[in-house]
Structure 1
Amino acid sequence: MENTALCYRKFGEPESVLRRETAIKASLKPGDIRVQMLMAPVNASDLIPITGAYRHRITLPAVAGYEGVGRVIAAPDSAAALIGTRVLPLCGEGTWQQYVDCPATLAIPVPDTIPDSLAARAFINPLAAWLMLSLYPPQGKRVLLTAAGSDCAILLGQWALRQGATEVYGIHRSAVHADRLRAMGILPVAQQDIDSVRALAAASDIVYDATGGELALAILGAMDKSAAFVCYGLLSGQPFALQRHFPAVHWFHIRNYLDALTPEAWQAAFCDIWSWLAASHYSDTTLLPFTDWQSALAHYRQAGRTHKPLLEIG
């Protein structure tokens, strides 16, 4: 079976080092299923590893992509019921390819009511939001989000309200996000309005931050010491130094929690996620053919983007 994949053989900017390569797919390993991919999104978590930021965890050559949806075309006898069904082929190979192999126990069946465009984005951001809200509950608290127009933040905001947060404020850089945040029940605040940002930080009980850098420092400097600051990303590309007067800072990296999830807990988590996703606002999508992956990356990098680029592989 021939398989075409987006591979990188050295670290660097994705636009420079990614290549479409076609090769014979290796035989299926015992206990694995084979999935013919339908769609896969472009996320920061897909692109950052290609640059070499996590080179100590990556063996080259590698296939890009961490999530997506596909249809099972081969399975061991113990998982024969999965053949023909849509699944998320997680914790296996890179997903930016035609065929992905993964352990049958970690493949997440997709309910018939969930469209491909939503299922393809049901892992990285939804699971991260679900885990953070489980670890740092928002019930009865005033919540502040940074990078509020991002996929993870809009889920964090909606799900925090679902879990009993009293108010959720969202800091955004582009004005195009303000109306869509209001429609989700998230109160928008412009990142440029630093006085309002500091005032909200001082009144917030918990902050979920995806930016780091100067914005994180401004928020931390204004927060009450009894509050909690959860850092789950550095979209600014700038780290920040902790100071004694800052409140408690919690570092969240999704990979630190995945190994601790048993197959049963893994499947159970998605029972919650499917129902929550179905009842939530999420970003619209722009479909681009797998052969035009460069345009998908360019679309992802557009300032003020409100649509998630999806590679249409199937």
Structure 2
Amino acid sequence: MYNTALVYRSFGEPQTVLHAETSVLAPLPAGQVRVRMRLAPVNASDLIPVTGAYRHRITLPTIAGYEGVGVVTETTESDAHLLGKRVLPLRGQGTWQQYVDCPAELAVPVPDDIDDTLAARAYINPLAAQMMLEHYPAHGQHVLVTAAGSDCAAYLAQWARLQGAKSVTGIYRSAIHARRLAASGVIPLADTDSAAITQAAGKAGVIYDATGGTLADMLLQSMPETGQLISYGLLSGQPFSIRRRLPAVHWFHVRNFLDAMTAEEWQQVFCTLWERLRATPVSEVTLIDFQQWRQAITLYQTPGRIAKPLLAF
């Protein structure tokens, strides 16, 4: 049996350094399950490592992709109950390939009422939003989110409102997002409106920032000393400066919390997530054949995009 995977052997622009490579599948290691992939999304967190931004923790060559959904096609005897089940094959190999091997205890079963397009993107953005709100709550705060057109910011905004935030403001880059934000109860704010951004930051108790750069600098200079800025991305590609001790700045990465989780705790996290995702409006998707992966990356990088590209295997 053969497997085709998107591999990078050097760092650089994803369209340039990613290559589809086909090889014979090795025997399934003990304690693992083999998953035939159905769908895998394209996220910033998939593409940024390919550029070399995290080269200190990546060993080349490696397979791209961090999440997706598929069906278990092979197990060892102790995990036979998973055979034929839909799962999220997480925290093992890269997911941009036809077959993924992952630790059986970390494979997350998908409830029957969750469709593939939602299950495929139930990890990176929803889990990050859920964990940020647990560690840095929004209750009773004026909340501000940057990159408000992104999926993670959308989850943060909606769940912050449910958690009891006084208000939620979303800073967006493309005007196409303004109406959707307003319809969901989020105050839309263009990233070009510096005066309004300064005013909104001036009363913000919690800011969830995925942008960094000059925008993060502006927010830190404007927000009250009692506030907290949670930095969980640098979509601008630029860092920001911390010129004073307060307000507090926290750097958030899901991976920093995973090693301390037991397998049972890991599975319980998703029980909570499934309940939240059932009740949360999500973005549209565009299915693109795995063989056309370059097209999927191009779509993801298109300004003003409103649909999430999913690789379909």
Fold shared, TM-score > 0.5 on shorter chain: yes
C-alpha distance in structure 1 between counterparts of 2:281 and 2:184, whole Å: 7
Judge conservation of contact 1:141–1:167 (CA < 8 Å) in 2: yes
C-alpha distance in structure 2 between counterparts of 1:240 and 1:102, whole Å: 36
SS at match of 1:299: helix
Partner residue, 1:41: 41
Q: TM-score w.r.t. structure 1 length?
A: 0.98
Q: TM-score w.r.t. structure 2 length?
A: 0.98
SS at match of 2:121: coil
Superposition pairs of residues 117-128 of structure 1, within 5 angstroms: 117-128=117-128
C-alpha distance in structure 1 between counterparts of 2:81 and 2:165, whole Å: 41
**Aligned-pair CA distance for 1:172:** 0.4
C-alpha distance in structure 2 between counterparts of 1:233 and 1:25, whole Å: 35
Judge conservation of contact 1:6–1:19 (CA < 8 Å) in 2: yes
**Aligned-pair CA distance for 1:246:** 4.1
SS at match of 1:260: coil
Partner residue, 2:133: 133
Judge conservation of contact 2:226–2:246 (CA < 8 Å) in 1: no
The CA deviation string for residues 83-111 of structure 1, in whole angstroms up to 9 with x for no partner, is 11100000100000000000000000001
Superposition pairs of residues 243-262 of structure 1, within 5 angstroms: 243-244=243-244, 246-262=246-262
Judge conservation of contact 2:39–2:70 (CA < 8 Å) in 1: yes
C-alpha distance in structure 1 between counterparts of 2:27 and 2:182, whole Å: 50
**Aligned-pair CA distance for 1:183:** 2.2
Judge conservation of contact 1:41–1:121 (CA < 8 Å) in 2: yes
The letter for the 1-side match of 2:191 is Q
C-alpha distance in structure 1 between counterparts of 2:113 and 2:16, whole Å: 38
Partner residue, 1:241: 241
**Aligned-pair CA distance for 1:237:** 0.5
Judge conservation of contact 1:221–1:246 (CA < 8 Å) in 2: no
Matched, 1:91 2:118: no
The alignment yields a C-alpha RMSD, in angstroms, of 0.9
Matched, 1:231 2:231: yes
Partner residue, 2:156: 156
Q: How many residues align?
A: 313
The CA deviation string for residues 5-55 of structure 1, in whole angstroms up to 9 with x for no partner, is 111111111100111111001111111000000000001110111111111
Q: Percent identity at matched positions?
A: 58
C-alpha distance in structure 1 between counterparts of 2:118 and 2:70, whole Å: 12
Superposition pairs of residues 107-122 of structure 1, within 5 angstroms: 107-122=107-122
The CA deviation string for residues 214-235 of structure 1, in whole angstroms up to 9 with x for no partner, is 1011111111000111110000
Superposition pairs of residues 1-80 of structure 1, within 5 angstroms: 1-80=1-80
Name stretches of at least 5 consecutive residues in structure 2 with no aligned partner.
none
Partner residue, 1:165: 165
Structure 1 runs (4+) greater than 4 angstroms displaced: none
Partner residue, 2:190: 190
**Aligned-pair CA distance for 1:154:** 0.2
**Aligned-pair CA distance for 1:244:** 1.3
Partner residue, 2:179: 179
The letter for the 2-side match of 1:48 is I
SS at match of 2:66: coil
